[in-house]
Each structure stands twice: as C-alpha cells, then as structure tokens.
Amino acid sequence: MTDNNNQTDPQTLSFEAALKELESIVDQLERGDVELEKSIAIYERGEALRNRCDELLKSAEMKIEKIKTGRDGQATGTEPLESNS
C-alpha cells in the first residue's frame, strides 16, 4: 500500500480496488511490524474500505434476480432474490 492510496476517497474506489487495498492493510497489520500510530491510521482506513466493499456488495445483491420457473421447468419470469415466494 502506498501513501497515494491513503489519499484516495474510498467512496470513489471500485470493489476490486478497495478489496486489494484492504487485503494489503490486513497483511501489514498481521505482520505486526507497523508502528502503533500508523497501525491505528491504517486500521481506520481499512474500516472505510470494508464499508465501501460492503456497500458495493449490497448494491450488487439488490440487482440480482431469481429466475422463476413453471411446472414444466421453463422460465416464466424473474423476481427479486430476497423474495420468499
């Protein structure tokens, strides 16, 4: 992770970019070789990135539709994935 990434607003990142940066932060924190103040700062950045990933996943979930089928197995239409019918 570079300091340049820290300057980028997480709300402007794609899911893939946010996840990649978040993975880098987790790696740094797991190694434990980061000074305390920097650990706190990158942890906070990680929280913002995690929130962005969560937001994008929820948005994608809302777009997914379940295909409804008739008795003959043929597609009859779609309905939202979260529907219980």
Task: Encode pLDDT of 43-53 as tens digits.
Answer: 999 999 999 99
pLDDT in tens, 4-37: 445 799 999 999 999 999 999 999 999 998 999 9
pTM to 2 decimal places: 0.69
Cα 21 to Cα 77: distance, rounded to the nearest angstrom: 39
In sequence order, what are the residues at sequence separation of 6 or more whose Cβ sits closer than 8 angstroms to the Cβ of residue 26? 46
Please report, for the chain, the start and end positions of each structural domain, with discontinuous segments joined by +.
3-80
pLDDT in tens, 53-85: 999 998 887 777 677 777 887 778 777 666 554
